[in-house]
């Protein structure tokens, strides 16, 4: 699994020059948390609109798509590039492509072979027989 847009449970420093490694942070904060190394604000380790995708993760996705046999997109409008093009690459590689969303994708993307509507936390365990 490659978390191309990051992980909201990880926290990272907002200063790109800071050496603080992203870490799991599930603690509630009364005030905005500050970095212990440089004093900058901390933020969720996610890609926000207008920000570039992490180069390493994007490279890993492109490499994985060449040999992909299963591609699952969870919670997407399917309209923002470059991620919106990944399903096409997976389809070309012969992968089974699945969309899990709360609402149907409109217009329907022909590269998704299957579409499941509902909460990912309920659908994924059923798909993979996880109890």
Token couple for 44: 């969720």
5 is catalytic: yes
Whether residue 4 is predicted with pLDDT greater than 80 in this model: the reply is yes
CATH number assigned to the domain comprising residue 117: 3.40.50.1220
Q: What is the pLDDT of residue 131?
A: 67
- Which pLDDT tens digit goes with each residue over 9-43? 999 999 999 999 999 998 888 999 999 999 999 99
Number of domains the chain contains: 2
| 68 labeled part of a ligand binding site | no
What does 22-69 look like in DSSP terms, one character per residue? PEE-----SS--B-TTT-PBEEEEEPPTTSPPPHHHHHHHHHHHHT-S
Residues 34 and 62 in one domain: no
| 38 labeled part of a ligand binding site | yes
Instruction: Give the pLDDT band of residue 70 (cuts 50, 70, 90).
Output: very high
Residues 63 and 112 in one domain: yes
| 70: containing domain | 55-127
> For the whole model, what pTM was predicted?
0.76
Mean pLDDT score, 67-96: 92
**Residue 65 contacts residue 89 (beta carbons within 8 Å):** yes
Whether residue 130 is predicted with pLDDT greater than 80 in this model: the reply is no
């Amino acid at each position: 699994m490659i978390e191309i847009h990051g992980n909201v449970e990880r926290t990272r420093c907002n200063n790109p020059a800071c050496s603080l490694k992203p870490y799991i942070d599930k603690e509630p904060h009364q005030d905005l948390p500050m970095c212990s190394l440089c004093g900058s604000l901390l933020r969720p380790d996610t890609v926000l609109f207008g920000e570039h995708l992490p180069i390493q993760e994007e490279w890993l996705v492109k490499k994985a798509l060449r040999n992909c046999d299963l591609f699952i997109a969870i919670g997407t409008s399917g309209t923002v590039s470059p991620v919106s093009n990944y399903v096409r690459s997976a389809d070309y590689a012969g992968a089974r492509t699945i969309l899990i969303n709360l609402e149907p994708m409109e217009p329907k993307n022909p590269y998704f072979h299957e579409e499941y509507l509902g909460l990912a936390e309920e659908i994924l365990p059923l798909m993979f027989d996880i109890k």
